[in-house]
Amino acid sequence: MQVHSFRPVFFPRPAVLTLGNFDGMHLGHQALARRVAEEAHRLGGVSTLVTFHPHPQNVLGAHPEPQITPLAMRLSLLGPLGLDRAVVIGFSRDMARLTPAEFIEEYLLKRFPLVKLIVGYDFAFGAGRQGTHFRLEELGRRHGFEVEVFPEVRVEGEVVKSTAIRKLLEACRFHEAARLLGRPFSLAAPVARGDGRGSQLGFPTLNQPLEEPLPLQKGVYVTTVRLAGQTYPAVSNYGRRPTVGGHQLVMESHLLDFDRKVYGAMAEVTPHTMLRSEQAFPSLQALAQQIDQDRLQARAWHQAQSR
């Protein structure tokens, strides 16, 4: 699958296209993507997913909405779904002011020979979210492309939606969230060089600074970390590290049976259960004592799972 940042070039082959945020790439998004690939094959076109970055809510809303899946990870999940290409459009306040007709003409019709647009049942876009299915069908008739509305996907009677998944993750109901995602929730991000304080305390960590918040409570979790094709039991802290005056959000993981330096490597952290909320300790010694207890609890949890 090819990934393109949006730029003023014309893609010459006929496009069967879907459009949306696709946060989480959950089972509903996956089914929609497969439908686009299937229809493109039938029509002899190129299956194309168009998404936005940053998330419109994070540009227009007063408070950033935690994203289930960062953009790079979201794009990596598209590969197995059969799509030919993904195109990322930079979202802005100016774009938000466009009418549905202006957006379709400027961002789709000038770039793609659009033959069919397939969107989810709850899709709406443009200023005031005026771009409903009915408006899209009007524009399709005017410009000569077909519009298909893809129905909701349900798991055991529950509609699969990103908002529902966020609520489950915030409540640490990871098994239920995995049912709707079609996979365990995880964070994949590169390992960065930290301040070395974990090693000084006797608990070396992998540090993954985060640009956007996750839909998780700040705190300590029993996790597994996948690194270079191997999976390791771990305990991880998600938050700002208030004891040492931290400000940046970071996922900081102590691998129970691993002590090598892997700066720059991609690590995937999967939380399983929450041990405690993040808190400020009166001293580094008190913090070290608590981390030791966290490590013992995490090891006991992992050992119980392996029996």
- pTM recorded for the entire structure: 0.91
pLDDT of residue 245: 62
Specify the 3-state DSSP secondary structure of 139: helix
Spatial CA neighbour of 189 closest among 302, 76, 55:
76
Q: What is the pLDDT of residues 49-83, one digit of tens each?
A: 999 988 887 787 767 779 999 888 899 999 899 99
Contacts with 13 (C-beta within 8 Å, 6 or more apart), sequence order = 45, 46, 113
Q: State the average pLDDT over residues 120-141.
A: 85
Q: State the average pLDDT over residues 98-102.
A: 91
Higher pLDDT, residue 78 or 131: 78
pLDDT of residue 260: 77
Higher pLDDT, residue 131 or 56: 56
Q: State the average pLDDT over residues 10-28.
A: 92
Helix axes 174-181, 162-170, angle to 10 degrees: 160
**Which residue blocks in the chain are alpha helix, DSSP H?**
27-43, 56-60, 71-76, 93-96, 100-103, 133-143, 162-170, 174-181, 197-201, 284-306
Q: What is the pLDDT of residues 211-252, one digit of tens each?
A: 889 999 999 999 999 998 999 999 999 999 777 666 789 999
* Domains annotated on the chain, with CATH: 2-164 (3.40.50.620), 186-306 (2.40.30.30)
Spatial CA neighbour of 268 closest among 132, 83, 42, 72:
72
Are the C-beta atoms of residues 51 and 67 closer than 8 Å to each other? no
Q: What is the pLDDT of residues 153-202, one digit of tens each?
A: 999 999 999 999 999 999 999 999 999 999 999 999 999 986 655 656 66
pLDDT of residue 215: 96
pLDDT of residue 196: 59
Tokens 């098994």 found at: 175
pLDDT of residue 9: 62
pLDDT of residue 178: 98
Q: State the average pLDDT over residues 106-131.
A: 88
Q: Rounded distance, CA 108 to CA 147, Å?
A: 14
Contacts with 245 (C-beta within 8 Å, 6 or more apart), sequence order = none
Specify the 3-state DSSP secondary structure of 44: coil
For residue 100, pLDDT over 60 is answered with yes
